[in-house]
Amino acid sequence: MSYDYKRKDVLVRQLDGSYKRKPIYAKTGKELNAKIKKVQEEAEKGYQLHLCPLFSSVADEWNEKHEKEIAYNTWNGYQRPLKDLKEEFEGLHITEITYQMLQSILDRMKAQGYARQTINLRKVTASLIFNYAVLQGYIEQSPALFLKVPRNAPHKPRSLPETEEIQKMLNAKGKFADLARFLYYTGCRRGEALALTSEDIKDGYIHINKTLYWEGEAPKIKSTPKTSSGVRKIPILTPIKAFLQNRQGIIFKNSKGGYFTRSEYLKGWRKFQADNDIHLTAHQLRHGFATICYDANLDEKDAAELLGHSSVELTKDIYTHITAERQKVNADKLNTFVKMCVKN
């Protein structure tokens, strides 16, 4: 069976705003009109999206660009907030999102009992995305400009290592005990320590310029951006000087002499914890170094530089927590002493 196809050339809007002729074919006049309408509507929709993209598209653009500018672990920390925001604003254009919509997310999270740090990370992520949207000309002003983390949002206290567990760690033996002591006496992030090679140990300093992360099981090395506070040098303290002497290649290596895979690291660290009856995490040991800085009377700015904090406010927060912990310990000691005196 043959058909006498109908054809009509129609003008279709392009992404740059111009129009281009496009031939449309159909079997009947009714079908032809329907096809013409569909083609023109889809072209118009595409043009409008180009002028005013969806929030999810802008968020993905920002995420891809941001990944190249910051350390992997920092970038990775934005991924869950990013996913949450994309789900919240699915199908909405970037211009449709208001301050009230964003603030309601933070208020809702507070009502659901989320920690202040978790809520603040959503606020920071939203602010970065909308700042990017302003720079790209998608919007004129960021709706995240005046966002506030709700007052009295629960503040999850930073977990400082217990003195008893630190002593167990210092007396422990083995490859992961060496790693734990290294973290404690340098304040390195886990990925920074695992990425180190003998070339980074020189002139009495540990030079931090890269980090290890995992894609699935596979270890990957990412250079720390030169503009980041993460690029720094840390003095080699006496307790780890002997350990670092004459080491060649990767400082913390697996049995094959390479970087640890994810499972190798997790298995090794868990065994170290079990063998020594401790629950210390790599992050707690980093806070342990912050405590050393505090006890040595290093000011917050100097400690922030050693820890690689992007803002001295992060260090101030840790120092404040250490002060509060010390005050509590002292109060407990006084109470114990007074009770003993009363009994006697």
The identity of residue 199, as a single letter, is E
Cβ contact 85:126 at 8 Å: yes
Classify 55-135 by CATH class.
Answer: mainly alpha
CA 196/CA 258 separation, integer angstroms: 11
Per-residue pLDDT, averaged over 34-44, amounts to: 87
238 CB-side CA count, 13 A: 0
The tens digit of pLDDT for each residue in 310-325 reads 778 777 877 777 777 7
Determine the pLDDT at residue 229.
59
The Cα angle at residue 98 between residues 93 and 99, in degrees rounded to 5: 145
Answer yes or no: are the C-beta atoms of 72 and 222 closer than 8 Å. Answer: yes
Distance CA(169)–CA(167), nearest Å, equals 5
Q: Where are the domains of the chain?
A: 6-51, 55-135, 163-324
pLDDT above 90: percentage of residues in the chain: 52
Residue 80 in 3-state DSSP? helix
**DSSP-based three-state secondary structure for 26:** strand
193-223 pLDDT per residue, tens: 999 999 999 999 999 999 999 988 999 998 8
CATH architecture of 163-324: Orthogonal Bundle (1.10)
Q: Which two tokens stand for residue 71?
A: 């350390």
Question: What number of other Cβ atoms are within 10 A of residue 192's Cβ?
Answer: 26
Coil vs helix vs strand at 312: helix
Q: Containing H/E element for 95?
A: none
Q: What is the mean pLDDT of residues 20-47?
A: 86
Q: pLDDT tens for residues 92-139?
A: 999 889 999 999 999 999 999 888 889 999 999 999 999 999 999 889
Residue 31 has pLDDT above 80, yes or no: yes
What pTM, to 2 d.p., does this model score? 0.61
